[in-house]
Structure 1
Amino acid sequence: MEPEAVANLIRAGLPGAEVTVTGDGAHFEAVVVSDAFDGLTPIKKQRLVMDTVKPQIASGELHALSIKALTPAQAAG
């Protein structure tokens, strides 16, 4: 998979999210900023993002995804 394809899957699952994905085709790192994360625990934020790529992980198309999930306030610092 290409980084942009991973980013598009996350954007489709979390409309309005700001998504940046880097990676080498097998291992990716995603930075996701979304209002949907407001009030959620870190684990729940991770699950929300992972749910957007679950079929690709199950099929082996996507091997590893590291996630940094932030609310807009957290991203602003």
Structure 2
Amino acid sequence: MNKKKIISILKEKLNLKDIYVTEDNNHYEITAIGNVFKGLTQVKRQKKIYNPLIDLITENKIHAISIKSYSLEEWDKNQK
């Protein structure tokens, strides 16, 4: 599995402004930015990311994921 595939899947399934993925072996860190996360709890945000990737996770192509998710407003505040 490579990070380009993960980016492609998440861009296709979620309406994201930006997505950043880093990888170390089968461990991935995902930072996703989009209004799809606006008003959602952290758990619901994680589910949004996990759902499109569940097949890769169950097939052990992805071993571990660290997720950071932001609405556009949160991302703008975080960057200051």
If the length of structure 1 is used for normalisation, what is the TM-score?
0.91
2 CA distance for matches of 1:17 and 1:32?
8
Which stretch shows the higher mean deviation, 30-39 or 14-23? 14-23
Percent identity (aligned): 25
The one-letter amino acid paired with 1:56 is L
Aligned to 1:51: 51
Unmatched 5+ residue regions in structure 1? Answer: none
Unaligned 5+ residue runs, structure 2?
Answer: none
Distance (whole Å) between structure 2 residues aligned to residue 31 and residue 23 of structure 1: 12
Aligned to 1:6: 6
Question: Matches of 1:17 and 1:46 in 2, distance apart?
Answer: 17
RMSD value, Cα: 1.1
Q: Using the alignment, how far apart are the partners of 1:65 and 1:11 within structure 2?
A: 17
How many Å apart are 1:9 and its aligned residue?
1.3
Q: Does 1:24 align with 2:10?
A: no
CA deviation after TM superposition for structure 1 residue 15, in Å:
2.7
Q: Cα distance, 1:74 vs. partner?
A: 0.5
Contact 1:7 1:21 in 2 (8 A): yes
3-state secondary structure, aligned to 1:40 = coil
Residue pair 1:2, 1:25 contacting (<8 A) in 2 also:
no
Does the CA contact (< 8 Å) of 1:3 and 1:25 recur in 2? no
Q: Which amino acid aligns with 2:61?
A: E
* 1:63 aligns to 2:53 (yes or no): no
Give the paired residue count: 77
